[in-house]
Amino acid sequence: MRISLEWLADFIDLDLEDADLPERLANGLLLAGLEVEALERPEASFDGLVVAEVLSVDPHPNADRLKLCRVADGAGERSVVCGAPNVAAGRRVVLATPGVRMPGGMKVEVARIRGEQSEGMICSERELGLGADHSGRRRERRG
């Protein structure tokens, strides 16, 4: 079971600014006879992730379920091959740029996917370690 510190702080008084809090809580749980399998610090794995705007979406010429996306990430434009069914021009998405190591350990690199160059990865909640949803890519919520 995963428990976030923010959720736990809704029930007990915690100093969320204390950098040692996760380790101290884990040690307390161990001393109480409870098992702690792992501590995760998702913020540490978000280096290199950026918010990008999808400029265009075209069908992939060599794959029925993939799309060629043109995205702008603030540093320039990139081509990204994407399989998300809900990606659309004008949306903002989380983009893993080349060199990023994803929470699951995979390193994002420039690659050719079915003959087309992909310069990053548009991320789903599951790929970011934020949830189990893999049906589409994480994007901003509309008002």
Dig out the tokens for 118 from the structure.
């992909």
**Residue 117 clears pLDDT 60, i.e. is over it:** yes
Cβ-in-10-Å burial (0-12, 13-18, 19+) of 10 comes to exposed
pLDDT reported for residue 138: 47
Domain range list for the chain = 5-39, 45-128
- Most confident segment among 11-20, 39-48, 49-58: 49-58
Gap between the Cα atoms of 132 and 123, Å rounded: 12
Q: Supply the CATH classification number for the domain 45-128.
A: 2.40.50.140
- Mean pLDDT score of the chain: 86
Gap between the Cα atoms of 77 and 114, Å rounded: 21
Largest CA distance in the chain: 58
Q: How confident is the model at residue 39 (pLDDT cuts 50, 70, 90)?
A: confident
pLDDT reported for residue 73: 94
